[in-house]
Structure 1
């Protein structure tokens, strides 16, 4: 492994360690000394990887929240029969595992100091969700253009629950998504099976 690769790998480790530290204690209660201690390094060495504390916060938030998205979508349905498991279990799983991270992300991105960076991060969400939707199209047989807005709804409801544990908001959203998925499964699976069914009928007629 080259020096630049080692530097980048160590930088990613530092971002995750610092982000976890911020999530536990908040920005105001987490100074450079605490961050350096969490990373097992001196305060001076932190500046080898980041220009400033603001640079660290900006980069670590974007990197770690994109990683949360990847973990989230790694549990996405493997096939149509797996959709129910996904809508019933994953919101609670991500609330338990990532709740503090969602809270800190909003603390950062709603701050006037970092608002423009938040806007930039959420611009990238559409592109990432499009890629997730295209992956799911191959598994579920539903067009990605239909899946993408459903991902937005699912994630928004899951994050809201992670922040506020609002079951009254979460459950109707998940029920609605499950009903939509059930209808879409019937629609697109039936459409795929029609040619085969028609050819069978033609063969019987002949």
Structure 2
């Protein structure tokens, strides 16, 4: 059981991670030292070192924590009703870009850096697992096997993140059009499964 002090320390660490990640997202990964991060967090460098071993540890932990929160936001908006699916596909890339574009751009700076790439691999394994679990939950509603749904979800995520980073409208529209056509095609192909599950 956590004590009050442990809870307070955890809350303070989360606050520091969120402020540090926002600072990096606003200013970029390079050229931002511990002093700048500490100022953004409203503390001094010594305080940061009470919670993190070094600057690399701060970057790794804050990226993992803050991007997991972004994924939570994304999953909270994911539809549970098949009737909402097409609207979700059309709207989620723009919501992602508006709300989390800077965070995604920073994430790719961090996780493609040679020092941090192994941490990126671990993070994306967890993300893939969560989307596979979401595909399993959709299987019962849409009648489409999760093995088919999972890559469709990945296409949507990739298109959304790409748009959040580069705002490439042509890439986005082409990906979404293929995705929506695929969903319709697979719903038609597996509509018998949906009827069976409803019975």
Taking the TM superposition and a 5 Å limit, the aligned residue runs for 1:47-196 are: 47-193=49-195
Look up the match of 1:39: 41
Deviations 1:63-82 (A, max 9, x none): 11121111112111221110
Partners of 1:71 and 1:18 in 2: CA distance: 19
TM-score (norm 2): 0.89
TM-score (norm 1): 0.86
Q: CA 1:191/1:17 → structure 2, altered by over 3 Å: closer, same or farther?
A: same
> Which is higher, the Rg of structure 1 or of structure 2?
1
Q: CA 1:134/1:5 → structure 2, altered by over 3 Å: closer, same or farther?
A: farther
Q: Give the number of aligned pairs.
A: 197
For residue 10 of structure 1, report the CA deviation from its aligned partner. 1.5
Partners of 2:153 and 2:72 in 1: CA distance: 13
User: Any conservation in 2 of the 1:77–1:136 contact (CA below 8 Å)?
Assistant: no
Partners of 2:153 and 2:82 in 1: CA distance: 15
Q: CA 1:175/1:59 → structure 2, altered by over 3 Å: closer, same or farther?
A: same
For residue 187 of structure 1, report the CA deviation from its aligned partner. 3.8
Partners of 2:62 and 2:125 in 1: CA distance: 17
User: Any conservation in 2 of the 1:134–1:144 contact (CA below 8 Å)?
Assistant: yes
User: Any conservation in 1 of the 2:156–2:176 contact (CA below 8 Å)?
Assistant: yes
**Aligned counterpart in structure 1 of residue 32 of structure 2, from 30, 33, 39:** 30
Q: CA 1:194/1:152 → structure 2, altered by over 3 Å: closer, same or farther?
A: closer
For residue 139 of structure 1, report the CA deviation from its aligned partner. 4.4
Partners of 1:79 and 1:126 in 2: CA distance: 22
Q: CA 1:139/1:194 → structure 2, altered by over 3 Å: closer, same or farther?
A: closer
Partners of 2:133 and 2:195 in 1: CA distance: 26
- More divergent stretch after superposition (172-181 vs 129-138): 129-138
User: Any conservation in 2 of the 1:26–1:104 contact (CA below 8 Å)?
Assistant: yes
